[in-house]
Amino acid sequence: MKIIAARLIVCSPDRNFVTLKIETDEGIYGLGDGTLNGRELAVASYLSEHILPCLIGRDPFQTEDIWQYLYRGAYWRRGPVTMAAIGAVDVALWDIKGKALNTPVYNLLGGKSRNGVLVYTHANGRDIPEALDSVRKHMDEGYLAVRAQSGVPGVASSYGVPKAGKPYEPAERCLPSESLWSTEKYLNFVPTLFEKLRVELGPDVHLLHDVHHRLTPIEAGRLGKALEPYHLFWMEDPTPAELQEGFEVIRRHTTTPIAVGEVFNSIWDAHDLVRHQWIDYLRMAIVHGGGITPLKKTADFAALYHVRTGFHGATDLSPVTMAAALHLGLAVHNFGIQEHMPHSALTDEVFPHNYTFDAGYMYPGSAPGLGVDIDEKLAAKYPYQRAYLPIARKLDGTLTDW
Ligand code: CS2
Ligand code: MG
C-alpha cells in the first residue's frame, strides 16, 4: 500500500479544527487531527509546506519509521506546532492501518484491557449553588466523575466558568480578552466549594478540579492539603510545569492526587515528574504529544511508576483526537480516566463518529480504524476564523498564567 495524497481540511463548525486526510492507492484513507487552539494555521502551514510532500509514495503501515523520519529527520524537535503536525500524520496512519486490517485501532495496541473508558465531564457555575446544580445535572446524565469549577467572589471571569448561558469554550473570535486574577481570593474560596459539594453529594462521585497553572508550588501544596478532606480524584495543573522539580514541593505537602500535562508535547516534558513519582496522572493530548505512537510508549513508561493516563479531551481537540484517546485508553493497562467535554451538535455533524457514552463510560465502537469520518461538504460551509485564548492579569496589572 502507498500514500498517494495528503491534504488539509481547515474548518470552523463553532470552533476551528485542522484535519489531515491521507489517501492511499487502495482507496483507504485515514484522518488525523492537527488542531492547536489559537495557533491553528501554524500547524496547517508546517504540515502543508514541510511534511505532506514527504509522505507521498510511503507505506502507511510504517508508523514507527515515518514517526522517526518526521521527528529526527527534521533536526528541529519538539514544540507544540511540530508535534501537533507529526501527531496528525501518526493518527491518520493508525486509522489507515486499522481499516486495512479490518479491525478497530485498539486491537493493534494490545486489545481491550477493560470494558469501557471511564470519563469525567465539566461542571461549572457562577457561584457555589450554580456549580452544585451543574454537578448534579451531570450526575443525572450518568457521569461518575465530574470536574467542578466556580466563579470566585471578587474575581471577574474565573477560569472554567462560561459566559451567560453558553457552553464553556475559552477561544474567542476576537483579539485575546483579559481577565483579572487573585490567588488570595481563589485559595480562600476553593475549599469552601468542595466542602459544600461533598456534604451535598456524598462520598462516591469522583470530583476533579483544574487550577489551570495559576499557583506557585507552595500555594498548590496549601490548596492540596486544604482539599484532602474532600478526597478529590485529582487537582489538575496546580502550577506551571516547565520546572518539573516544582512538583516535589507540592508532593511534600499533600496527598491530593496531581494531574499534569495538557500543554506537554513530549515524554521529556514529563520524564522527571514520572520517574520521581511527583504526579499521579499524565494528561498529554494524543495530537499535541505527536500521536498514538509516542503516547503508547509514554503510557508504558508511566506505568512503571504507578502513573496513570488522563488524556486531554477538551473541545479544542477534534472528534478524531477524542477517538484516538478512547482507543488508546481502552488498551493501555495504566488507564486512569478520560476527559469528555462534549462537542457542539454542529461539530458532531461535521465529524460523524462511532464512539458513544453510556452510564459514565465511553466506548470507541468496533468500526475498523478510529471510527471517525469528516463531512467535507458541510465542513466547507464553515471556514476558519481567527480566534485566541484569553489572557489573565493579577489585580495590579501583572500578566500571569491564564
Ligand atoms: C482545560 C482546557 O480541558 C482542560 O482541562 O484546561 O479546556 C484548556 O483550557 C484548553 O484546552 C485550552 O485550549
Ligand atoms: Mg486543564
Domains of the chain by range and CATH?
3-104 (3.30.390.10), 108-366 (3.20.20.120)
Atom of ligand 1 lying closest to residue 339 CA: 3
Q: What is the pTM of this model?
A: 0.97
Atom of ligand 1 lying closest to residue 312 CA: 3
339 CB within 6 A, ligand 1? yes
CA of 169 to the centre of ligand 1 (A): 9
**Mean pLDDT, range 148-177, rounded to an integer:** 85
The residue whose C-alpha atom lies closest to atom 2 belonging to ligand 1 is 314
Say which residues have a Cβ less than 8 Å from residue 90's Cβ, sequence separation at least 6.
Answer: 32, 63, 66, 67, 290, 291, 292, 293, 294
Predicted confidence (pLDDT) at residue 166 exceeds the cutoff of 80: no
Nearest to 310 by CA among 225, 206, 160: 206
CA of 380 to the centre of ligand 2 (A): 30
pLDDT digits (tens, 9 = 90+) for 288-323: 999 999 999 999 999 999 999 999 999 999 999 999
How many beta carbons lie within 10 A of that of residue 225, not counting itself? 15
> Given this model, what pLDDT does residue 165 score?
63
Backbone angles phi, psi at 3, to 5 degrees: -80, 125
The residue whose C-alpha atom lies closest to atom 4 belonging to ligand 1 is 314
Mean per-residue pLDDT over the chain, rounded: 97
How many beta carbons lie within 10 A of that of residue 222, not counting itself? 17
> Given this model, what pLDDT does residue 327 score?
98
CA of 254 to the centre of ligand 2 (A): 20
Nearest to 99 by CA among 31, 167, 186, 185: 31
262 CB within 6 A, ligand 1? yes
The residue whose C-alpha atom lies closest to atom 12 belonging to ligand 1 is 37
**Could you give the CA distance from residue 319 to residue 324 in angstroms, rounded to a whole number?**
9
Nearest to 17 by CA among 30, 2, 32, 33: 33
Question: Which residues does residue 358 pair with via DSSP β-bridges, in sequence order?
Answer: 361
Atom of ligand 1 lying closest to residue 237 CA: 6
Say which residues have a Cβ less than 8 Å from residue 258's Cβ, sequence separation at least 6.
Answer: 224, 234, 235, 236, 238, 247, 250, 251, 278, 279, 280, 281
Q: Which long-range contacts (CB under 8 A, 24 or more apart) does 246-249 make?
A: 246/216, 246/217, 247/217, 247/273, 247/276, 247/278, 247/279, 248/276, 248/278, 249/217, 249/218, 249/220, 249/221
How many beta carbons lie within 10 A of that of residue 26, not counting itself? 13
316 CB within 6 A, ligand 1? yes
Question: Which residues does residue 21 pair with via DSSP β-bridges, in sequence order?
Answer: 7, 31
**Structure confidence at residue 89 as a pLDDT band (50, 70, 90):** very high
210 CB within 6 A, ligand 1? yes
212 CB within 6 A, ligand 1? yes
The residue whose C-alpha atom lies closest to atom 13 belonging to ligand 1 is 37
List active site positions: 159, 212
Question: Cell 500578566, residue?
Answer: 399
Higher per-residue confidence, 295 vs 173: 295
> Given this model, what pLDDT does residue 155 score?
87
334: which 3 cell numbers?
495504566
37 CB within 6 A, ligand 1? yes
CA of 159 to the centre of ligand 1 (A): 10
> Given this model, what pLDDT does residue 162 score?
80
> Given this model, what pLDDT does residue 164 score?
67
**Structure confidence at residue 163 as a pLDDT band (50, 70, 90):** confident
Q: How far are the Cα atoms of 141, 160, 205, 221, 323 from residue 358, in angstroms, in the given order?
A: 9, 25, 16, 36, 15
Helices 217-227 & 246-253, crossing angle to 10 degrees?
30
Q: How far are the Cα atoms of 24, 71, 217, 317 from residue 61, in angstroms, in the given order?
A: 11, 17, 44, 25
CA of 236 to the centre of ligand 2 (A): 6
CA of 80 to the centre of ligand 1 (A): 14
221: which 3 cell numbers?
501544596
Q: Report the chain's C-alpha Rg in angstroms.
A: 20
The residue whose C-alpha atom lies closest to atom 6 belonging to ligand 1 is 212
The letter for the amino acid at 244 is Q
Q: Which of 15, 147, 149, 312 to mutate to test the pocket of ligand 1 (most atoms within 8 A of CB)?
A: 312
CA of 148 to the centre of ligand 1 (A): 14
How many beta carbons lie within 10 A of that of residue 255, not counting itself? 11
Say which residues have a Cβ less than 8 Å from residue 364's Cβ, sequence separation at least 6.
Answer: 104, 105, 106, 117, 323, 326, 327, 330, 354, 355, 370, 371
The residue whose C-alpha atom lies closest to atom 9 belonging to ligand 1 is 170
Q: Give the number of whichever ligand sits closest to the CA of residue 171.
A: 1
Nearest to 70 by CA among 1, 29, 20: 20
Instruction: Give the rounded percent of residues in the chain with a pLDDT score beyond 90.
Output: 94
Is there a contact between 33 and 317 (Cβ–Cβ < 8 Å)? yes
Is there a contact between 55 and 22 (Cβ–Cβ < 8 Å)? yes
